[in-house]
Amino acid sequence: MEKAQAKQEIERLSNEINRHNDLYYLENKSEISDYDFDMLLEKLISLEQQFPEFAFDYSPTKRVGGDITKKMESVVHRFPMLSLSNTYSEEEIIDWENRLKKLSDGKLEYVCELKYDGVAIGIQYENGTLKQAITRGDGTQGENVTTNVRTIKTIPLKLKGDFPADFEIRGEIFFPLKNFQKLNEQRLDIGEAEFANPRNTASGTLKIQDSKVVAERGLDCYLYGVYGYDLELDGHYESVLKAKDWGFKVPDHQKNFIKKTDSIDGIMEFIHYWDKHRSELPFEIDGIVVKVNNYEQQQELGFTAKSPRWAIAYKFKAERVETILESVQYQVGRTGAVTPVANLKAVQLGGTTVKRASLHNSDQIEKLDLHLLDSVYVEKGGEIIPKIVGVNLDKRTSQNEKIQFIENCPECGSELVRREGEVQHYCHNENLCPPQIKGRIEHFIGRKAMNIDGLGAETVDVLVEKELIHSYADLYDLTFDQIVNLDRMGDKSADNLLKGLELSKQVPFERVLFSLGIRFVGETVAKKLAKGFKSIDAIQNAKFDELINVDEIGEKIAISVQNFFLEERNVEVINRLKAVGLQFQIEEKVGVTEKLKGMNFVVSGVFTSFSRDEIKEVIELNGGKNVSSISSKTNYVVAGENMGPAKLKKASDLGIIILSEDEFIQLLNG
């Protein structure tokens, strides 16, 4: 076959097979027999092997798998994948809806959806072709699982219709119960243990290095969230329907998987229906998600530090089981907090095998009046580690010994202390207690803190056990010769670790402050303190009244900050970190003013002198605020080339000032 003819035939076969795939998996229709379909696919595979240069990115042969991915790379999300606030209470759903009505202008519409129990995924498409697929991860960055996602037949490789040139769609990858059961039957046949539950198996499957194995397991996916710049979409429900036109498998409104309503009664009707009928679904759900439909109203309602205000997840009440409390062990955290954990006789709960349950603190043990060998009730209650919620007293005997909370640290033997007004017991031997030393160092090197490449928890364990480090300041004294011969180390790994330490000296002050592990000083508080005081010296010397005058800094945080600097060893560690070059003051940026304070900007289109992100940074540096959609609260639209006509019209209709790139520069110059 000639090359030109081969290229044409490969394109024809690819399009034809993709069309049959869409008919079968999205519309439940079939125009040809399985045999005829297989023959088409075999012909395409043969042609692509002969002429690999003509294989398309959207070729259906990608669905067969076979590519090996040795390492899943981490990728930063273009749009953060925030988690939703959860509730098990219908009253809290009612309170949430009432609160939104007070905060928002105009009548609200809501979208109710199933909360699929799977793996959150974000998939980017460019010019209608699947570019990359990223797991949720920690919300800021996730793992690139593109090769494996291509094997899922309900995820289109090439789109149809009037799709945007560049956008991301989000949803949930899950294991259909039928396919999960089939997989476990296959494992039993070959003498392997069954997988515990569909959700964890779906997550593990997405991380398998061999995409052929992924293809054989039969994962599925619903996609329902469209994200991008300059999308001509007004609401969430409408975007879901539009995504269906582009070729995506979206929640079926005819099956009541998704519903739009304008009342709390409609929300409750949806919740009650699926609480009763969820067992009839061919996949697992663990609740219902409710969102404000209109994108402008979403923007007005905004976000908290962790989740959007305009959405909430209602989780169905947890399953309860009864089992035996066999023993209690005590774990020591990086702050010295001691947490009791119950060891249980293994029992099935919510599709997983449960052997441990959190007891939280001594008050909880006392409240439940726990005895060893008690028959206890266990629930998951939305937590990773299940919890004990009660005792079957009818089964207690005189042989069951009452549990007494320990008096000494299980790691170093120091006497435990319980501070007034707190529920937790603490070990104060922070400089010699191994879990505290390791925990503080692991916190220091974490991705949201110093983000030191080449250094993980296992390496920290080895460094502490070999007594090469006793604090995070000691990391910067490490030498190549000290670390090159450690377990799992070598020349390259040692070089990477030292380079990671050197690069961490460029980490900005607010993250350095967070990395110190001051009690109650999380990411947000660290940013507030850094912005309020500009340097570590100013924070160290700040009076109590000065600390609580900073936004979001209360008495508890202020006292904790002051106590941290009263410890001579903490000050000594900071001085050592200063000496090696870490950033302990805010780097003042040139051009920072308050010229745009109180003004809301929408930046849209393509610009000549600056990128869109650069313009947004300039707005923030000068006190302005960037918003993503146009509303009556928008002061200016900075419009570049190719800005969507709908946005321009909306800005004009609302009488909002539209600035060109040059006019924006003039505004800055006064």
Catalytic residues: 115
Can you read off the two tokens belonging to residue 401?
A: 């010994």
DSSP letter at 523?
A: H
Helix ranges (H only) for 433-508 are: 434-445, 457-465, 480-483, 491-503
Please answer whether residues 173 and 121 qualify as being in contact, where contact means their C-beta atoms are separated by less than 8 angstroms: yes
Q: Which CA distances in Å does 368 have to 338, 345, 364, 374, 564?
A: 18, 18, 6, 11, 35
Q: Which CA distances in Å does 318 have to 341, 350, 365, 375, 378?
A: 20, 8, 21, 19, 10
Would you call 46 helix, strand, or coil by DSSP?
Answer: helix
Cα–Cα distance measured from residue 181 to residue 332, given in angstroms and rounded to the nearest whole number: 39
Residue whose tokens read 């028959």 = 375
How many C-beta atoms lie closer than 10 Å to residue 202's C-beta? 27
Q: Which residue, among 284, 148, 280, 155, has the nearest Cα to 216 in the 3D structure?
A: 148
Tell me the residue type at 552: E
- In DSSP terms, which residues pair with 172 in a beta bridge? 120, 222
Compute the residue count for the chain. 670
**Surface-to-core class of residue 397, CB atoms within 10 Å of its CB (0-12 exposed, 13-18 middle, 19+ buried):** exposed
Please answer whether residues 544 and 620 qualify as being in contact, where contact means their C-beta atoms are separated by less than 8 angstroms: no
**Surface-to-core class of residue 440, CB atoms within 10 Å of its CB (0-12 exposed, 13-18 middle, 19+ buried):** buried
Q: Which residue, among 493, 494, 528, has the nearest Cα to 509 in the 3D structure?
A: 528
- In DSSP terms, which residues pair with 110 in a beta bridge? 261, 292
How many C-beta atoms lie closer than 10 Å to residue 415's C-beta? 11
Residues with Cβ within 8 Å of 172's Cβ and at least 6 positions away in sequence, in order, are 116, 118, 119, 120, 121, 221, 222
Angle (CA) 367 376 199, round 5°: 110
Name the percent of the chain in helix, strand, coil, to the closest 5: 40, 20, 40
Cα–Cα distance measured from residue 649 to residue 628, given in angstroms and rounded to the nearest whole number: 16
Cα–Cα distance measured from residue 440 to residue 447, given in angstroms and rounded to the nearest whole number: 14
Q: Label each residue of 172-206 as H, E or C.
A: EEECCHHHHHHHHHHHHHCCCCCCCCHHHHHHHHH
Can you read off the two tokens belonging to residue 27?
A: 């519309």
Cα–Cα distance measured from residue 430 to residue 447, given in angstroms and rounded to the nearest whole number: 23
Cα–Cα distance measured from residue 513 to residue 142, given in angstroms and rounded to the nearest whole number: 25
Q: Which CA distances in Å does 121 have to 139, 142, 273, 355?
A: 11, 9, 27, 30
Can you read off the two tokens belonging to residue 461?
A: 């364990």
